[in-house]
Amino acid sequence: MALIEFKDVAKRFGAKTVLDRISFDVKEGECVALLGRSGCGKSTLLKVLLGLYKADSGTITYSGKRIDNVALRALTGYTSQENSFYDTLTVHENIHYFASRNRVHLGEAKAKALAASVRLDHALGVLGGRLSGGMKRRLDFALSLVHDPALLVLDEPTTGLDPMLVDEFWTLIKAMQKKGKTLLVVTHHLDDVQEHCDRAVILKEGKVSHVAATTKNIHAVFARHA
């Protein structure tokens, strides 16, 4: 069953069409990569999904039902390539602050369990600004989970990490998928897509140019369709 489905989603800025009737779905419990060259419309599509932009036409459905952006945002966890936490707050304080911002009450046990799920339980008292690069990525990921969303959207989440830390982060991502989370991942690292993602959607000039039923040989598929 599709958890999230885009149906003929279009977005224009002035005379320029950035998204041209985008249609694809992400099934419950799978990990789908959203691929394409710079300027193809990936970021705009994510902003429409997250309610930062309003689509000019088309619909987004969640579990088969049309849903407004406010409600959808509450069901979605978002991790970007930029840090979203506060450098001057500790890991513990960041978790509680973002929980309250999402109107979620986290008791101490749940807050510690969340930190432990991203292997930050030993760093609860460390300021965000003093974390290593890999720990910062894990904290950002934890903050996207405070409201226990069913859908996780990750936009270039491993940018700037060395290969060992990339593998570590993907281990966390896949652990969430095993727990039943549905994942939509924007990345330009095709090796990661081939190893970790179930399917791939390729955008080209604002359109869906190809939906790959498997990520096997994704390098060749991307070269043909992107």
Where along the chain do its domains lie?
A: 1-75+185-226
Closest by CA to 152, choosing from 187, 183, 117, is 183
Q: Where are the beta strands (DSSP E) in the chain?
A: 2-13, 16-27, 31-35, 57-62, 65-66, 76-79, 151-155, 182-186, 199-204, 207-212
**pLDDT tens track, the chain, 226 positions:** 899 999 999 999 999 999 999 999 999 999 999 999 999 999 999 999 998 899 999 999 999 998 887 788 889 999 988 889 999 999 999 999 999 988 898 889 999 999 999 999 999 999 999 999 899 999 999 999 999 999 999 999 888 888 888 998 999 999 999 999 999 999 999 999 999 999 999 999 999 999 999 999 999 999 999 9
Written out in words, the top-level CATH class of the domain with range 1-75+185-226 is alpha beta
Give the torsion sign (CA, 67, 71, 75, 77): positive
Q: How many angstroms from the chain centroid is the CA of residue 158?
A: 11
Q: What is the C-alpha R_g of the chain?
A: 17
Q: Of 211, 152, 142, 149, which Cα lies nearest the Cα of 186? A: 152
pLDDT score, position 224: 97
pLDDT value for 72: 85
Q: Are 71 and 61 in contact (CB under 8 A)?
A: no
User: Which pLDDT value is given to residue 205?
Assistant: 96
Say what the pLDDT of residue 71 is: 83
pLDDT at 74: 84
- In this structure, which amino acid lies at residue 150? A
- Under DSSP, the state recorded for 94 is H
Of 221, 170, 180, nearest to 29 by C-alpha is: 180
pLDDT tens for each residue of 107-126:
899 999 999 999 999 999 99
pLDDT at 159 (0 to 100): 82
